[in-house]
Amino acid sequence: MAVAVTEAALPPVVLFLPAHNEDATVAEVIERVPAEVYGHPVHCVVVDDGSVDSTARVATTAGADVVTLGRHAGLGAAVRAGLAEGVARGAAAVAFCDADGEYAPEQLDRVVAPILAGEADYVVGSRFRGRIERMHSHRRFGNRVLTWALARAVGHPITDGQSGYRALSADAAASARIAHDFNYAQVLTLDLLAQGFRYTEVPISYQFRQYGQSYVRLIPYLCAVVPTMWRELQTRGWKPAERQSSTTWARKPARASSQRARSS
Ligand SMILES: Nc1nc2c(ncn2[C@@H]2O[C@H](COP(=O)(O)OP(=O)(O)OP(=O)(O)O)[C@@H](O)[C@H]2O)c(=O)[nH]1
Ligand SMILES: [Mg+2]
């Protein structure tokens, strides 16, 4: 994909890491973040979601800026804060991935490339289109089922509805609405698609966390996620007639900003 690089100072790409008690891994993730992508300086920001371990201190020592939520608010709230921080920094693209080492910060270039090229507003790194080193079989099954439900709801072949590695354009980051504090995975996608932002996927690699604790517990997860997804679908009025099949796509009518970006 061709991304134009000019001599003038370019706005930053912000990569933020939502983190809750990740002091075993956060430093290594930060150290692997590239200093720049396509000529854009990369700002690495850790959103510390009320950690009670030394996540914030370790992250600062490793060279990241830390935004502290002050209390444990939830992953959705952490991502909301990270997007706001990216917008405040005037980022050309705002990306995020887990602080637990499951995703590769080195792949930031491929996740933000469609945004910097003006080809998409919302990029999801797809583990199922890429390489999965290790994922428990029950997780794989749960991911498949929830992804199927999301893809069916929006009428598009989404391949990884729960990916933790994503990027948004400045406009999408400023407009995103995360419907609950619990998480963002499904509701962020429903929101951005409903607003007409252009969606695309890129293949990424994934390795299940080796340290720390996952917050995903099946029953509480489904109890929080399914009703909120349902509410979003009802209030945004998705209809099967809107089904599309191309790889990069937007719900019609696409946002004016998306159309502008496409024609420029
Ligand atoms: N546990 C938890 N993680 C949060 C929260 N807020 C932010 N995070 C961070 O958000 C990222 C995603 O959470 P994970 O627990 O890794 O979720 P996951 O990747 O779906 O689950 P695993 O595959 O088990 O790691 C991690 O970097 C967490 O540290 C929260 O409220 N709970
Ligand atoms: Mg994780």
**Residue nearest atom 1 of ligand 1, based on CA coordinates:** 215
Determine contact, residues 118/259, Cβ cutoff 8 Å: no
Tokens (6 digits) for 199: 């969606």
CATH topology of domain 13-263: Spore Coat Polysaccharide Biosynthesis Protein SpsA; Chain A (3.90.550)
Q: Is the dihedral of CA 184, 185, 186, 188 positive or negative?
A: positive
pLDDT at residue 56, as a whole number: 98
Task: Establish whether residue 33 lines the binding site of ligand 1, counting it when its CB lies within 6 angstroms of any ligand atom.
Answer: no
Pairing of strands 65-68, 122-134: unpaired
Per-residue pLDDT reduced to its tens digit, 240-254: 445 455 556 666 555
Q: 121-152 pLDDT, tens per residue?
A: 999 999 999 988 888 888 888 889 899 989 98
The answer to whether 64 and 84 have CB atoms below 8 angstroms apart is no
- The answer to whether the CB of 169 falls within 8 A of the CB of 115 is yes
* Closest CA relative to residue 47, chosen from 108, 95, 89, 99: 99
Q: Is 79 in the pocket of ligand 1 (CB under 6 A)?
A: no
181 within ligand 1 shell (Cβ under 6 A):
no
Model confidence, pTM: 0.87
Dist. CA 199–CA 167, nearest whole Å: 10
